[in-house]
Amino acid sequence: MNQLGKMLICMGLLLAAVGVVLVLAGKLNIPFGKLPGDITYQKKNLTVFAPFGTMLVVSLVLSIIFNIFSRWK
């Protein structure tokens, strides 16, 4: 039970850190979600947003971070 509690605390801190990064990115006018490759389709009552460019950048950054941690450990 102790390990589960520690894991939940770590996940909460990670989620809070991601939230802070997103807030800071919005204040610094970083075009997160408006990159080339992000598709937005709008009609009268329908909006479809597919952030393919953003997903690619996030995937690349996370892959590099996890690769560095796996080599370090």
Number of domains in the chain: 2
Q: Are 22 and 51 in a shared domain? A: no
Residue 6's domain spans which residues? 1-30
Q: Are 62 and 38 in a shared domain? A: yes
Question: In the prediction, which pLDDT does 69 show?
Answer: 83
Q: What is the pTM of this model?
A: 0.59
Q: Are 26 and 36 in a shared domain? A: no
Confidence of residue 64 (pLDDT cuts 50, 70, 90): very high
Model confidence pLDDT, tens digit, residues 21-40? 888 877 888 777 778 888 99
Question: In the prediction, which pLDDT does 31 show?
Answer: 73
Q: Are 51 and 25 in a shared domain? A: no
Model confidence pLDDT, tens digit, residues 45-58? 999 999 898 889 88
What is the rounded average pLDDT for all residues in the chain? Answer: 87
Q: Are 72 and 49 in a shared domain? A: yes
> Exposed, middle or buried by CB within 10 Å (0-12, 13-18, 19+), for 57?
middle
